[in-house]
Amino acid sequence: MKFDKPETTNAIDNLTVVGQPHRRIDGPLKVSGRAPYAYEHGDIGGDVAYGFPVGSGIAKGRILSIDTDAARAAPGVLAVVTSIDFGEARKGKNNTAHLFGGDKIEHYHQAIAVVVAESFEQARSAAALIHVEYQEETGSFDLEAAKGSASPPDPDSENADTAVGNFDDAFNSAAVTLDATYETPDQSHAMMEPHASLAKWDGDQLTVWTSSQMIDWWHTDLAMVLNMDKEKIRLKSPYIGGGFGGKLFLRVDAVLAAVGAKAAGRAVKLALPRPMMMNNTTHRPATIQRIRIGADEDGKITAIGHESWSGNLPEGDLETAVMQTRLLYAGENRMTAMRLARLDLAEGNAMRAPGEAPGLMALEIAMDEMAEKLGMDPIDFRVANDTQVDPENPERPFTQRDLIGCLKLGAERFGWQARSPQPASRREGRFLIGHGVAAAFRNNLLVPSAARVRLEAGGRVVVETDMTDIGTGSYTIIAQTAAEMFGIPIEAVDVRLGDSQFPVSAGSGGQFGANCSTSGVYAACVKLREEIAKTLGFNSNDITFAGGFVRSGDRSIPLAEAAGEEGLVAEDVIEWGDLHKTHQQSTFGAHFVEVAVDAFTGEIRVRRMLAVCAAGRILNPITARSQVIGAMTMGVGLALSEELAVDTKRGFFVNHDLAGYEVPVHADIPHQDVIFLNEADPMSSPMKAKGVGELGLCGVSAAVANAIYNATGVRVRDYPITLDKLIGGLPQVA
């Protein structure tokens, strides 16, 4: 199905199942422990051995030798495979660093060996016996030090510098200006489930149970790394314990499990230890961002410029922190620029809302700083600079844009009028109280997505697609889509996900998963509805599905009867036309935060939070709300505690576990509320939906930072905002 014109009325608009608050259909399996994750499959037949990875002890250089004699002789050891044994390192097309193979070291904790043993403890113990000699080279590990040598992106790429009008002249002549630099640190996905895989060979056929957000990407790249025919590999990932972008791309656990299983002649399960999750896999790169804003005395932006620096391995990508600034606010004179420095740290790559999350951590503080210079309320300043068209291309309107609605409704519900505009002026006992706001923005991305839908003889509908569920509710919204299309209860739909033998879906990432995968299911359902009409001799233009029946005119036949004895099946893919080119598709929101800061110690407590989101049709209010409050929680962590501390001499992240890399716990999170504006975007998809999973994070950290400033009068421009950055500037308490 080609989606190339705005959607009119369709079966989804009935909203008898779609749009309703259904609880997750996989919930009972998860809370009862019956949903098997990658490391937990016990029904594969035969004894399963355990693999343990060995990571490089240097960040850059070469391996001179690997002595494995002691490890091979250790109790219970079945096999040891080193990167030298494996031979040439082959890289998947989606990987920046080589995962395994050869003698070259590109980053600390790069996998250089795997030990397979009868038990986990035996494998781990034997791994410690491997001795490696290196030839170490000098590396680059400090973004600030490497900033001067950073290079521009390809001028023909979407990341190239942009310029509209004359930014320099407009900024220099503006009545009110801001020129400030903001810093965000390296950050880890820190998902609960580690990167884990279980591999089993049957002759030359390989099956891998793994934790992957994108089945086809992994399937393709694993075949490349192992130098195998893709058709001889089957990937299965039905349940995933969190990803946040860290499981978008093939990771070394799948490679080592497969290599170890081949060498040992046994099925092998392997999970990366937490330090290797931090140092071996991907992370959100640090940024240094300079923002300049000029405005007239009435608060209209006349010049806005955003520059960003980030670092990565050779052939790595930028952290695209300026992207939202190209679209979020008006201003006739504009410029954005990004520069990439070479760093020999582990691969920097996508983490929840890549680009917009760190970009808004800076931009939305800058907007508050500018509002204060102008003597304006921060909400009024944002409203005054709203735009209904792409500011860099005014001929290109937004399909829908209600940022003003989000800000105004949020202000009313949050009680913004009670905020004191004078920082450090409100006290409750020993606590300074502050309120903060920030805009939320995330683009709506479109990815082709396919599905297969089967009507079985008993009347049940089965949906198969390699879409994944990373805890976001994919099973449920896909079941809702099929149920709506065939007029049956959600309980009459079976959803099968996460298998490379199923049609290739959009996968889970970029906030595109829900809209695109359900659109693919919609397309397959349309085709199956046509097949049912043909089988029954009905006019497909006059057919309706409701209450378990198929109706056309005065004829009504049970859906189960329409299936016949053998059932009916259809498969299709949603493909996208040019609507996203002629019109800008984005999601918008507003975040509100109240904090209390201890006037004596600088301790920060977030007391309440509100998010208002405008993101097209909400397919399931329960799962969407869960996405947003989870994102809000992550935003608190990014604001107040999360930072991968870099050892700039040795080139590794020092705090590489959950004791040192501090994420919020339940006690840190206050009352949270979420409001979804009632909208449906006919230009986004046949579902008229968009996405909320990353929108819920964008702007949260800046709202926290702005609330802290309102409470204390201390402006912190480098995250995380820890008490040591506040305490010297707190108001006198005696």
Segments making up each domain of the chain, as ranges? 2-35+446-581, 38-138+189-276, 355-444+585-729
Query: What pairs with residue 53 in β-bridges?
Result: 114
Say if residue 397 is preceded by a cis peptide, omega within 30 of 0: no
Domain 2-35+446-581 indexed as CATH 3.30.365.10? yes
Whether the per-residue pLDDT at 376 is higher than 70: the answer is yes
CA dihedral of residues 468, 470, 476, 479 (deg, nearest 10): 0
User: What confidence score (pLDDT) does residue 576 get?
Assistant: 98
Q: Each residue of 166-206: pLDDT tens digit?
A: 999 999 999 999 999 999 999 999 999 999 999 999 999 99
- Out of 369, 484, 642, 694, the active site residue is 694
Q: Could you check whether 38-138+189-276 and 355-444+585-729 share the same CATH topology?
A: yes
Task: State residue 658 phi and psi, 5-degree precision.
Answer: -80, 0
- pLDDT band per the 50, 70, 90 thresholds, residue 42: confident
Give the residue from 710, 194, 177 showing the smallest Cα distance to 436: 710
Contact status, residue 10 vs residue 692, Cβ threshold 8 Å:
no
Q: What is the C-alpha separation between 577 and 512, in angstroms, rounded?
A: 16
How much is the pLDDT for 734?
57
Contact status, residue 604 vs residue 713, Cβ threshold 8 Å: no
CA distance 631 to 701: 10
**CA triple 589-595-596, angle to 5 deg:** 175
CA distance 177 to 292: 7
β-bridge mates for residue 605, sequence order: 596
User: Locate tokens 């043993």: which residue?
Assistant: 117
Residues 57, 134: Cα–Cα separation, whole Å: 9
Active site annotation includes 565: no
Q: How far apart are CA 511 and CA 444, in angstroms?
A: 7
pLDDT band for 44, please (50, 70, 90 cuts): confident
SS3 472: coil
Query: What is the tens place of the pLDDT at every residue in 492-517?
Result: 999 999 999 999 999 999 999 999 99
Query: Which class is domain 38-138+189-276?
Result: alpha beta
**Residue 555: per-residue pLDDT:** 93
Class of domain 355-444+585-729: alpha beta
- Phi and psi for 433 in degrees, rounded to 5? -110, 135
Residue 612 has pLDDT above 90, yes or no: yes
pLDDT at 534: 94
Q: Per-residue pLDDT tens for 524-567?
A: 999 999 999 999 999 888 899 999 999 999 899 999 999 999 99
Q: How many CB atoms lie within 10 A of CB 678?
A: 9
Stretch 15-35: mean pLDDT: 96
List, in sequence order, the alpha helices (H) in 415-512.
Answer: 474-486
- Give, in order, the Cα–Cα distances in Å from 60 to each of 71, 107, 114, 277, 344: 25, 6, 20, 18, 7
pLDDT in tens, 302-312: 999 999 999 99
pLDDT level of residue 257 (50, 70, 90 thresholds) = very high
Positive or negative, the CA dihedral 493, 498, 500, 506 is positive
Q: How many CB atoms lie within 10 A of CB 242?
A: 18
